[in-house]
Amino acid sequence: MTGINGQVARLLQELADLTKLEDGSPQSFRVRAYEKAVGAVNEMPADVASMSVAELVAVDGIGKSTATKIREYVDTGSIAKLEGLRASYPPELVELTRIPGLGPKTVILLRDQLGVGSVDQLRAAIESHQLRDLPGLGARSEEKIARSIERLGLAGKQRRTPIIEALPVANELVATLGAMPQVRRIEYCGSLRRFRETIGDIDILVASNDPEPIMDAFVSLPMVREVLGHGTTKSAIVVSGGLQVDLRVVAPAQFGAAVLYFTGSVAHNVELRQRAIDRGWTLNEYALSDAETEEIVASRTEKSIYAALDLREIPPELREGHGEIEAAATGTLPRLVTEGDIRGDLHVHSTWSGDGRSDLLAMLEAAAARGLDYVGITEHGEDLAINGLSRDEVHRQRALIDEYRARFPDMVILHGAELNIGPDGGLDYDDDFLMEYDWCVASVHSQFELSAARQTERLIRAMEHPAVNAIGHLTGRMIGRRPGIDIDAEAVFAAAASTGTALEINCHLDRLDIPADLLRRARTVERIRFVISTDSHHTREFGNLRWGVRNARRGWVEKRQVVNTWPAERFLKWAADKRTR
């Protein structure tokens, strides 16, 4: 989302996150009030800027205190309460709450008892065994926390931000600055444009002949927490959460060369530059030009530069120096899947699941509105506490879906389930019951700590079940928060191919699971199949499809390998085949 509502929603989320620390609880009354308000603002059609406090309070989910703060932000550009919280809880401290096992109470305890204010300080405290004597902790939690830090890659100098946090910031900046009359073109570049799952910093590039007002506006935006540099063509800021944003302005004629350079990666750039040198040219952020005459060969668009170097245009997601330049030179780039190729969504929840947010009919209508040819309704299986469906509920939902089918003549509705893979690969319900479904996803929702051998075994056993069509969110990781399960990936891929089980590419921006580096290995396995599914719990989440597709592209996944790009007939036959073979 962009515009003022997007800004307000992000600030309210930040208020919620910092209030967790202030209240020492992720569930306090105030935290829940802010989080409810985030949802309300996200769903509000009207601009919050045009609403009075009374009108805001009238919105379901917004209370008096939150309404006042929204108004304060609209009128003054900041919220005093938030500024105070930011001063008390710096980003390095907030980052600690991402580590599994470290709730807000513990983080404050570490700060107050041990003076720990960052991941590095926490590691030092762990090394000198200072955690084990604190109330509520112990040797075991000390080890567990140490392992989490290691596996999440939080150690070391450079802090990286999960893409789900960086992307809204970049979108907001592009929308705000892009509205200025001096801005001719604007694009975010760097790792974000390449769709890496974590972002070091955001790189924004503008084409303009009048850079100064753009720079002035940039360094005085409300989201700015610190100005690192303020020049005429290059500035840098730090925004809430400690994320750095670099802004560069170039002349419109140089925009293509600059976007290419700042999109990177460094490895891709180095290889491209070598290709230019081989032709007697130079390539830099301004242009591709003749090394001797300095005459410009190409600079306006990325495509023209690739073309001059005898290359097909390489999608940003592939620009990592993984052989994409050679593939572009020889015409062997993968035929990457696109969002428009997707014809079905095979992982969808409704309020029948405990964690579903939109009712079944609303979800079906939203799926139909997106023009899907087929959709799989996959509520949680009974083994998932609270959220799962009993057998009776499954039968009642099946009857309801039978009734609904007539309303959606252009969309095939599959009645499915998201089953839970037990520690030994067992599934919910029983075999006969499972064979009544049209489609089943099976996912790991528990026991994330088992050994690689046991995780691999349980996944393979689940895939061997004839009712299981796909494995949901393969590793279970939450980017920057929860490491994925350990698996023998090659064994899992081989079993997926031989059993005719698709591997889901889950579209949630905080999951992007299967991770792209694993996808690049999986895609080379013969007869491997993928399914790109949103795992929607709310009508709004169908829009996440684009993230799953971009992640698949980053993994070099081709359209032909993705079963939900297939026409309904072929897809349905493939899905039914596993049950009968």
Binding site for Zn ion (CB under 5 A): 418, 535
Which of 101, 94, 58, 56 is CA-nearest to residue 74?
56
d(CA 112, CA 130): 13
Site for ligand DGT in 304-343 (CB under 6 A): none
Per-residue binding string, ligand DGT, 155-194, x by CB under 6 A, is: -----------------------------------xx---
Site for ligand DGT in 243-262 (CB under 6 A): 261-262
Choices 36-44, 101-109, 264-272, 364-372; region in contact with ligand DGT by CB under 6 A: 264-272
Q: Give the H/E segment covering residue 71.
A: helix 64-76
Q: In whole angstroms, how close is the CB of 286 to Ca ion at the nearest point?
A: 18
Q: How many CB atoms lie within 10 A of CB 473?
A: 26
β 201-207/243-250 pair status = parallel
What are 176's two structure tokens? Answer: 């705000």
Secondary structure letter of residue 484 according to DSSP: P
Most distant pair of Cα atoms in the chain: their distance: 79
CA angle 221, 225, 228 (to 5 degrees): 90
Site for ligand DGT in 197-216 (CB under 6 A): 199-201, 203
Query: Which amino acid would we find at residue 46?
Result: A
Residue 282 interacts with ligand DGT (CB under 6 A)?
no
172 binds, among ligand DGT, Zn ion, Ca ion, none (CB under 5 to 8 A by kind): none
Q: In whole angstroms, how close is the CB of 536 to Zn ion at the nearest point?
A: 9
Q: In whole angstroms, how close is the CB of 175 to Ca ion at the nearest point?
A: 19
Specify the residue, 205 or 489, whose C-beta has the smaller distance to ligand DGT: 205
Environment class of 27 (CB within 10 Å of its CB; exposed 0-12, middle 13-18, buried 19+):
exposed
Q: Rounding to the nearest 10 degrees, give the CA dihedral for residues 467, 470, 472, 475.
A: 110
Q: Give the H/E segment covering residue 298.
A: strand 296-298
Residue 555 interacts with ligand DGT (CB under 6 A)?
no
87 binds, among Zn ion, ligand DGT, Ca ion, none (CB under 5 to 8 A by kind): none
Residue nearest to ligand DGT (CB): 264
Size of the site for ligand DGT (CB under 6 A): 14
Specify the residue, 196 or 445, whose C-beta has the smaller distance to ligand DGT: 196
Specify the residue, 266 or 386, whose C-beta has the smaller distance to ligand DGT: 266
Specify the residue, 198 or 299, whose C-beta has the smaller distance to Ca ion: 198
d(CA 549, CA 542): 12
Q: In whole angstroms, how close is the CB of 93 to ligand DGT at the nearest point?
A: 22
What is the Cα gyration radius of the chain?
25
Interface contacts to ligand DGT, rule CB under 6 A:
190-191, 196, 199-201, 203, 261-262, 264-266, 269-270
